[in-house]
């Protein structure tokens, strides 16, 4: 890991690192916040997966998670949303290619060489962080929009790796959304059978979740038709899935929304991670 920058924040440290990813065959960048408690003991880790067009910086700078992470003695990691750089496939559209990895392992050219964000988040980056930083191996996961999709699908498929789960305005049913069908077709091919393991609603119906879930969604979100929160709400009721999906009156899709409920989410994770 190459240290790019480091700043003190709420008594802890906000760092940015660069490293060579074998999984993505590219240089990857991530941010990580270590609370003051990490100086004296290993701490739990909360994953924050970002949305379309974001890098590691957006949530690191705008979500305001550090203050609450310091109060609750948990670390927060902010991975990038896709591989980047010369030779990495891209598209002129904002919702495909660099900045739009959708947390899948692409199987179709030209994406398959680099776009393996599922393996990066589930396997490669956790192993690197555990080796290099004072972490206790207990993980929670959250995310916003495309990152909320990633958090839900990754947690549902890997319950042994994640003890707590939440999401901000997630894309919950991408096989029925333009934010999903377009990208899955490009990354995974036209056989929709290969898409199902990346759809949170389909995975919850099939696999369930062994904990509870917190989802916040703004009622004035300009992308509600793409996000389809009603599909997840119906499914949680039908499955009697513990958790809550809160429609927050007047909030849109921006980081003002995320920052407004960041404290709730960090506390939610801290309570579950410390009890693990």
Q: Which of 145, 164, 166, 177 is catalytic?
A: 145
51: exposed, middle or buried (Cβ count in 10 Å: 0-12, 13-18, 19+): buried
Do 52 and 227 touch, CB atoms closer than 8 A? no
Q: Under DSSP, is residue 91 helix (H, G, I), strand (E, B) or coil?
A: coil
Asked if 145 is an active-site residue, the reply is yes
SS3 label, residue 135? strand
Rounded to whole angstroms, the Cα distance separating 88 from 95 reads 15
221 is catalytic: yes
- Which residue of the set 114, 144, 253, 265 is catalytic? 253
| Beta-sheet strand order (sheet of 164-168) | 2-9, 12-21, 26-34, 75-79, 43-49, 135-143, 164-168, 213-218, 243-248
Q: Are 155 and 165 in contact (CB under 8 A)?
A: yes
Return left, alpha or beta for 153; rule: phi > 0 is left, psi -120 to 50 is alpha, else beta.
alpha
Answer yes or no: 50 catalytic: no
Query: Helix crossing, 229-239 with 200-207: angle to 10°?
Result: 10
What tokens were used for 80?
């990038």
Pick the catalytic residue: 73, 80, 199, 221?
221
Task: Measure the CA–CA gap between 184 and 191, rounded to whole angstroms.
Answer: 9
Active site residues: 145, 221, 253
């Amino acid at each position: 890991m190459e240290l790019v920058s480091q700043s003190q924040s709420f008594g802890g440290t906000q760092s940015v690192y660069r490293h060579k990813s074998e999984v993505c065959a590219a240089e990857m960048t991530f941010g990580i916040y270590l609370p003051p408690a990490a100086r004296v003991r290993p701490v739990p880790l909360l994953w924050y997966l970002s949305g379309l067009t974001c890098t590691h910086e957006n949530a690191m700078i705008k979500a305001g998670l550090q203050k609450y992470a310091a109060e609750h003695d948990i670390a927060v990691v902010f991975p990038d949303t896709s591989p980047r750089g010369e030779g990495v496939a891209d598209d002129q559209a904002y919702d495909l290619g660099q900045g739009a990895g959708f947390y899948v392992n692409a199987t179709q050219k030209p994406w398959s060489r680099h776009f393996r964000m599922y393996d990066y988040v589930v396997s490669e980056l956790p192993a690197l962080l555990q080796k290099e930083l004072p972490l206790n191996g207990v993980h929670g996961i959250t995310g916003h929009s495309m990152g909320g999709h990633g958090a839900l699908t990754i947690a549902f498929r890997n319950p042994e790796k994640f003890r707590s789960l939440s999401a901000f305005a997630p894309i919950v049913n991408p096989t029925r959304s333009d934010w999903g069908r377009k990208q899955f077709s490009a990354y995974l091919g036209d056989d929709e059978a290969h898409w199902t393991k990346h759809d949170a609603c389909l995975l919850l119906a099939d696999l369930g979740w062994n904990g509870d879930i917190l989802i916040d969604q703004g009622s004035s979100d300009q992308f509600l038709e793409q996000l389809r929160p009603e599909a997840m709400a119906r499914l949680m009721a039908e499955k009697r899935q513990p958790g809550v999906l809160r429609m927050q009156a007047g909030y849109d899709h921006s980081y003002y929304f995320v920052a407004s409920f960041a404290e709730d989410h960090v506390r939610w994770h801290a309570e579950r991670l410390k009890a693990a």
